[in-house]
Chain A
Amino acid sequence: MRLYDSEVTSRLLLGTAQYPSPQVLMEAIRASASEIITVSLRRETAGGSGAGFWELLQQLGARILPNTAGCHTVRDAVTTAHMAREVFGTPWIKLEVIGHSDTLQPDVFALVEAARILSDEGFQVFPYTTEDLVVGERLIEAGCEVLMPWGAPIGSGQGLLRRDGLRAMRAHFPDVPLIVDAGIGRPSDAAEAMELGMDAVLLNTAVAKAGDPVLMARAMAQAVEAGRAGFEAEPMERRDMGVPSTPVLGLAELM
């Protein structure tokens, strides 16, 4: 899978928040085999509250995708992106502009505007968006080469609420990497996203808040791999009626 100028093998992107401990986080990332992890920026305290996490990131060696989580305006998101580019030394930015505090639905109007500004400034934008096709087109016009539609509200674990919308996106943007970002709760959700032809899945809470995050990270990796293979293998058509799989020809007459 190609994301901007990078070739990526793993189709699972993992968030780093809410794990029970840094140790569990590190083990979960290893178990997930993710090559890309998402991170954020928050207020530093004097003496260095962020230094420990920074050192941990250096050890991991994974590619970092900083986010603009919590931003509600274009200005907030653009400023945060600039700060992230300097700290993490990457042009990649997971662009979130939140429009609604309860659903954490993206403000797609502000998203398109921020995406245009950042793309013009040399950022490689990964926009957290809805499955709306026109918004997707506007984001691509703005310079985005990846789209990240939500599956369900962030942190809800509800799975894919609008499968038809994701299917339509796949058909409408055959050559644009599509990453389902947010809403995945279980491995079956991740597998389903991949079976729909999504290129990758980005998740966090589903792993971090599982009873055993490391085991769930492995399960998600397997689900993503299985779902992708299932998509590439082209599933059979559904039938309305049962059709015997064992040949009828040659069946004995025993009555």
Chain B
Amino acid sequence: MQIIVNAEPREIRADTLEAALDELGFTSPAIATALNGAFVSRAKRVDTRLTAGDRLEVLSPMQGG
């Protein structure tokens, strides 16, 4: 199915957030996720099911002021 990952359309086979992150190559432990604008904690990724058209944001540490 197709979902939007950090504003880019991506085709994935996985149907959970945990598996999708792995499939998409997001392997760093220092990431946080939001699905359709709502925070999804690390612990809930494995039980969070994805549906086509979902908007996934994957964020990581960046320099900031």
Seen from chain A, the residues whose Cβ lies within 8 Å of a Cβ on chain B are: 15-19, 25, 38-51, 53-54, 57, 66-67, 69, 75, 79-80, 82-84, 86-88, 154-155, 204-205
Contact = CB atoms under 8 A, between A and B. Distances in A.
A53 B24 contact: no
B34 A83 contact: yes
Given A54-B28, A87-B30, A40 B42 contact: no
Contacts of A41: 32, 59-62, 64
A205 B63 CA distance: 12
Nearest to B8: A43
Contacts, number: 111
A43 B59 contact: yes
Interface residues of B, number: 26
Contact of B60 (A19, A50, A75): A50
A17 B27 CA distance: 24
Contact of A83 (B24, B26, B39): B39
Interface of B: 6-7, 24-28, 30-34, 37-39, 41-42, 57-65
Interface SS majority for chain A: mixed
Contacts of B62: 39-42, 50, 53
Given A43-B6, A46-B26, A79-B34, A87 B61 contact: yes
A92 to B, nearest CB: 13
B65 A15 contact: yes
Given A43-B57, A43-B58, A87-B60, A50 B28 contact: yes
Nearest to B34: A79
Contacts of A83: 32-34, 39, 59
B28 to A, nearest CB: 4
A66 B62 CA distance: 10
28 contacts: A15-B64, A17-B65, A18-B63, A19-B63, A39-B62, A39-B64, A41-B62, A44-B59, A44-B60, A46-B26, A47-B25, A48-B60, A50-B60, A50-B61, A51-B30, A53-B62, A54-B30, A57-B61, A67-B65, A79-B34, A79-B38, A79-B39, A82-B32, A83-B32, A83-B34, A83-B59, A87-B60, A88-B61
